[in-house]
Structure 1
C-alpha cells in the first residue's frame, strides 16, 4: 500500500476559480464536482460551488480544494499552512513561479538560497502561500 499527503485547500466560493488558476500554472487534469452534481444541495445559492475538486499532473503534483458550505465555519486564517512545490530544475520552478505570481504578493523573491539553488515564496491572489524550490542535497 502506498500513501501520500495531498494539499487540500478550503475556500468560500472561490474553489473553481482557484483550481482553474492552478491548472493554468501546473497543467494536468482538472476535476470538479459541484454540490448539485453530487446531489447534496443544502443551499440552492451554493449548488454550483465545488464539493470536490482537484488538479493532478502526470508527474504526481496534486492539489485538492472545495467550497466550505455556508452553514460551516470558515476563516482563511493567517499562515496556517504553506504549499511546497519542489522541482528538479530551475526552468521548471521558474515557469511555475511566473504563473503563480500573477496577482500575487511576493514574500521572498525567487533566487538562490543557502539550502537550495533556487527558492522563493509568494502569497497568491487566493491567499494561499506557495513555497517553490529546486531540490538539492542538504549540506550542513
Structure 2
C-alpha cells in the first residue's frame, strides 16, 4: 500500500486560470468541476467557480485547487513573505510547492514557463546542494522551489 500527498491550493476566483497555467508549465490533463456542476444555479454568483480542480501529468506532477466560496478577490499580497538572505530562506509562509527533476535542462524549461509574471526570490542556477535550484512566487501568489536531484554518492 502507498500514500501520495498532493498540494491543494485555495483561490478566490482564480483557480481555473491557475490550473490552466500550471498545466501549460508541467503538462498533463486538467479536470475542473464548478459549483454550478454540483447544483448551484447557473446565474448565481460563483456558479462558474471551481469546486474541484486538478492537474495530473504523466511526469508525476500533480496539484489540486479550488475557489473558496465568497468574494472573488485575490488574497492580500502583503503577507506572507519569503526572501533569500545569506544563503538561507526567510519566510512567513505556511508552505511552498517543490518540484524536483532529474536534469538541469528539464527543470530549467519548467522554471522559464513558471517565471512568467512571477517574483524571483532566487534565480535558477547551480547551488552547493544541487546542480540547479531556484525559488519564485508565481503570479497567483504561490511560492515554488524548483531543483535538480543531486547525484547519489
Structure 1 and Structure 2 fold alike (TM over 0.5): yes
Residue 63 of structure 1 corresponds to: 63
Q: Deviations over 1:77-122 (max 9, x none)?
A: 6122110000001111001000000000000000111110100000
Root-mean-square deviation over aligned CA pairs: 2.0
Give the ranges of 4+ consecutive aligned residues of structure 1 lying more than 2 Å apart after TM superposition. 74-77
Q: Partners of 1:57 and 1:11 in 2: how far apart? A: 21
Higher helix share: 1
Task: Calculate the TM-score normalised by the size of structure 2.
Answer: 0.83
User: Alpha-carbon deviation of 1:44?
Assistant: 1.3
Structure 2 unaligned blocks of 5 or more: 81-92
Residue 84 of structure 1 corresponds to: 98
Q: Partners of 1:68 and 1:118 in 2: how far apart? A: 35
Q: Is the 8 A contact 1:33 1:51 kept in 2?
A: yes
Task: Calculate the TM-score normalised by the size of structure 1.
Answer: 0.90
Q: Deviations over 1:19-49 (max 9, x none)?
A: 00000001100000001112256x9110000
Structure 1 unaligned blocks of 5 or more: none
Residue 17 of structure 1 corresponds to: 17
Residue 135 of structure 2 corresponds to: 121
Count of residues in Structure 1 that have an aligned counterpart in Structure 2: 136
